Structure 1
């Protein structure tokens, strides 16, 4: 009887040490991004006979970040910058809050009524919006995340 009690105490101690090691390991994992490293991506959106080229940039400098966007369609061009603050960051998730939005023009480059998908993604970029980015681990320097509110996957290269 005494042997069983001693054995249970030893296993409880071993289990608590193991849990403590796992907790320390998960806490000390590096952030999914490099601070002050600019990340970039390019996309083409086909809209009927027109193509909109979008170049997106993300630079995270804790405790804030900037998303810059350049849209080009034909001869027209639109620049936008979104200032965000990091609410919470971990290895697996980032929560950001939209603090400032500046655009070169208020006019859209495309017909919003025919491209509702692009309009939907912009509606979340309003002052005070909180977005959740689920980080996807990669074996490269790329930053890949899934925007939960927009149902969008983004991968950006340094």
Structure 2
């Protein structure tokens, strides 16, 4: 199974690899799953929750503010996920696969899932809201599954 969404014209497209050539296009369920950047979210969850627990970022900010190293690492982990998602998907794309569209959708999904998982950067700047967290990522993921890419 290809990591990227197989476009509608994959069955007769110009793919170089045998892994997606003559493969039927992905249906809604497959697109829904593939657009979620599980690898990036897994990395972010591990690294970020380690940071949150070590610096107690889930609590009230200390009088002097959060330690600069905690803020720097929070930004670094988020940016690594944002920049790493399209790079990872590009490296796994076969010729003709619409990796740019997939990368754009998955990068937005990563940001929303980082928010949903109460990422430390959102806690540090006190912009995390449970209501929006419960709403944004699932709704975006469902709507993104409706996007049917064309072969490049």
TM-score for both structures, normalised by structure 2? 0.25
Higher percent of residues as strand: 1
Higher percent of residues as helix: 2
Query: Greater relative contact order (Cα 8 A, min sep 6): structure 1 or 2?
Result: 2
TM-score for both structures, normalised by structure 1? 0.25
